[in-house]
Amino acid sequence: AQSVTQLDSQVPVFEEAPVELRCNYSSSVSVYLFWYVQYPNQGLQLLLKYLSGSTLVKGINGFEAEFNKSQTSFHLRKPSVHISDTAEYFCAVGRARGGADGLTFGKGTHLIIQP
Amino acid sequence: DTAVSQTPKYLVTQMGNDKSIKCEQNLGHDTMYWYKQDSKKFLKIMFSYNNKELIINETVPNRFSPKSPDKAHLNLHINSLELGDSAVYFCASSQNSYEQYFGPGTRLTVT
């Protein structure tokens, strides 16, 4: 079984400032890692994913994340945020080559961009 | 050309009723899922299904049942609806357990 911990339920940031959203996971097997974004009253959109290879992954909208196996972390970063980045961000893990397994999600971090 | 679609978008019904939510994907994926998002926005897997296996989260009441008429569809049937079933339900699909693509969600309100 896997678990995901998003350490911050809410992160307020000023516009054009950098941001880091933290994610730690626990698993006894190899996993794939994902970050999804949910804008108000919408579905989930994939921001980026780590399957294998380079530990620094780049996603859409200027976001990037770094996989750290020793610290079991997958923190999400953006160097300069915009008002439009205000949303709920979810970290998720899935069993690598897991067949029909679903994803295990963290509780989400609400990113609030202040003008 | 929506990748994963769900109907209806909103569903308001009374306790005790039976309802269904439909999901269709046009991505050619081999696996489909249902998730429940509660009022605190916590997402939890309910079912995953491909042509080989159905995996049911053990915490899901047996009033909930997935039905797949074909590879592109996975519908969710709910019997004897309860107040606690009120939530947003998301359908998703994936290929080979890689990233999942989510539908827009169905907001179910049980009164």
With an 8 Å Cβ cutoff, is B3 touching chain A? no
What is the model's pLDDT at position B52? 67
Contact (CB, 8 A) for B103 and B43: no
With an 8 Å Cβ cutoff, is A94 touching chain B? yes
Structure tokens at B72: 């592109």
Return d(Cα A59, Cα B66) in angstroms, integer. Answer: 33
Contact (CB, 8 A) for A99 and B94: no
For testing contact with chain B, the best of A101, A109, A110 (most B CBs within 10 A) = A101
With an 8 Å Cβ cutoff, is A45 touching chain B? yes
What is the model's pLDDT at position B55? 80
In this structure, is the dihedral angle defined by the CA atoms of residues B96, B97, B103 and B105, taken in order, positive or negative? positive
With an 8 Å Cβ cutoff, is A2 touching chain B? no
Return d(Cα A26, Cα A72) in angstroms, integer. Answer: 7
> Hey, how many other C-beta atoms are within 10 angstroms of the C-beta on B10?
10
Return d(Cα B40, Cα A44) in angstroms, integer. Answer: 15
Calculate the average pLDDT of chain A. 93
Q: What is the pLDDT of residues A66-98, one digit of tens each?
A: 999 999 999 999 999 999 999 999 999 998 876
pLDDT of A38 above 80: yes
Q: What is the pLDDT of residues A22-35, one digit of tens each?
A: 999 999 888 899 99
> Hey, how many other C-beta atoms are within 10 angstroms of the C-beta on B27?
12
Residue type present at position B75 = N
For testing contact with chain A, the best of B41, B49, B56 (most A CBs within 10 A) = B41
Return d(Cα A80, Cα B21) in angstroms, integer. Answer: 40
Residue type present at position A108 = G
With an 8 Å Cβ cutoff, is A101 touching chain B? yes
Indicate left, alpha or beta for A107 from its phi (over 0: left) and psi (-120 to 50: alpha).
Answer: alpha
Q: What is the pLDDT of residues B55-111, one digit of tens each?
A: 878 789 999 999 988 889 999 999 999 999 999 999 999 987 678 999 999 999 999
pLDDT of B25 above 90: yes
CA of A104 vs chain B CAs: smallest distance (Å): 7
Return d(Cα B43, Cα B45) in angstroms, integer. Answer: 7
| Start-to-end CA span in chain B (Å) | 34
For testing contact with chain B, the best of A50, A103, A110 (most B CBs within 10 A) = A103
